[in-house]
Amino acid sequence: MILSRLKRFFTPWKILQFAVFMTFLITLWELYILNKGLNSKESIVTQNILKQLKTQNIITTKAPFVPTSAKLIQTTNIYDHFKQLHGMVDLRRNPTTLNMTIFNSSLLNKLVYEDPQVPMRLHSDNGSTIIPQIIHQTWMDENIPDPDLYSKWIRSWQSNHPTWSYWFWTDNSARDLIKNYYPQFLELYDKYPLSIHRADALRYFVLYTYGGVYVDLDMESLKPLDALTTQHACIIPREPMQQSYLVWKKTKLASNAFMACRPHHPFFKMVIQSLPESNIIGRGKIVEKTGPVMLQRIVDYYSRQPIEQENNYDKIHSPDSSYFLPTLDKDAIAKLDQMCKVRIKYVTDKTMLSLCNDMIKRNFSNIVTRKAYTNHNWVHTYVMPPDQTKHVNIREIIKNVKLGFLKINS
């Protein structure tokens, strides 16, 4: 009897009506949560992120991207402002929005600091330079692995820039920099699971603090950069589009293997501020936590901001790959060769077809033109660690190398 009543009640039509009604209620509830914001009903994802950031002391009443020696002029509660900014964001649908909305101009306007002055000796004697003439490179210690491979590339920088300073960063000196000037980031820095995460983060802190030119050990200098240091305030080149589109489906992908910038540029302030959020939403991928994908997000956002750009001092210049990264990784070329020759008839993506036609014209070979300043050799030391049995101390390669970090007088 009960079963027969249930059968009459749970007819297909009534089940459908019930499903539609519940869907309607769930939609209304989600709209209510979205409009209500984070003041009372925060999404689980956002709440967890905020909790992690606050317990790690990343979100405090002091901006995490400002050295402790900076003079505080005006402050606000970043945690409250953070929640306010994300009130209309559903991170379950668009987790990357977290990185973008944190840079809302209203937040930046609330956080006004005086950065410590970089001593004049950091700059070239030629007062016309905007980017300090300093070469920055890094490795885990002073012993360069596989000297037959890396030494010639390292020497190319001194050969083309004989009057420039050469600074070499190790794991110890890198941590000293973070500990002394960015202690809010020290726990995050120490807890990065891979050394490449720390190496990526270090270059952003170095360029923001001192300025200059950062280059990976497998970057080779082809001609002097002196003229560029007087023309641009910040240079963030792009990787070859054939490679970035093949791997990430991105027509633009910033490279962090070569970067040049003046000290205290607002772009790198944004990059540093994004590290805690990127660490959480990076989904375990190096390029999304600290690498090129994360960097390109900040480039895209920064480029859209109405920034006062007097004398180009706050602009960023993002040239195509032909100037600083003209060659492709050999593995990328092999994949393109297979896709464009064997599976070309199955390719329907117009961008991919265009890139295939370009590679076919080039006979799938790398081309370095005269306009190239540098070249990236794509060694990938973080994927395939070099042979440590053969090494040479950096002092034997660069005689006037500066080790450790230079303390800034506040």
Coil/strand/helix, residue 234: strand
Percentage of residues in the chain having pLDDT higher than 70: 68
Numbers of helices and strands, H then E, in the chain: 18, 12
Find out whether 142 and 170 touch, Cβ atoms under 8 Å: yes
Report, as an integer, the average pLDDT of 305-324: 82
Do residues 204 and 287 make contact, with C-beta atoms less than 8 angstroms apart?
no
Q: What is the pLDDT, as a whole number, of residue 210?
A: 95
What is the spatial distance between Cα 280 and Cα 119, in angstroms, rounded to a whole number?
35
Cα–Cα distance measured from residue 189 to residue 179, given in angstroms and rounded to the nearest whole number: 10
What would the mean pLDDT of 360-384 be, rounded to a whole number? 87
Q: Residue for token digits 């970090």?
A: 405
The DSSP 8-state label assigned to residue 240 in this structure reads P
Dist. CA 183–CA 176, nearest whole Å: 10
Q: Which domains does the chain have, with CATH numbers?
A: 2-114 (no CATH), 133-403 (3.90.550)
**Location of structure tokens 């190790």:** 170
Least confident window among 76-90, 278-292, 396-410: 76-90
Tens-digit pLDDT profile for residues 132-154: 999 999 999 999 988 888 999 99
* Mean pLDDT of the 81-94 span: 31
Dig out the tokens for 154 from the structure. Answer: 């390292």
Q: What's the average model confidence in pLDDT over 184-192?
A: 95
Would you call 230 helix, strand, or coil by DSSP?
Answer: helix
Tens of pLDDT, residue by residue over 221-245, are: 999 999 999 999 999 999 999 988 8
Q: Count how many residues are written for the chain.
A: 410
- How far is 226 from 401, CA to CA, in rounded Å? 19
* Cα 254 versus chain centre, distance: 8
pTM, to two decimals: 0.71
Measure the CA–CA gap between 321 and 378, rounded to whole angstroms: 14
> Residue 331 corresponds to which tokens in the numbers above?
């593995």
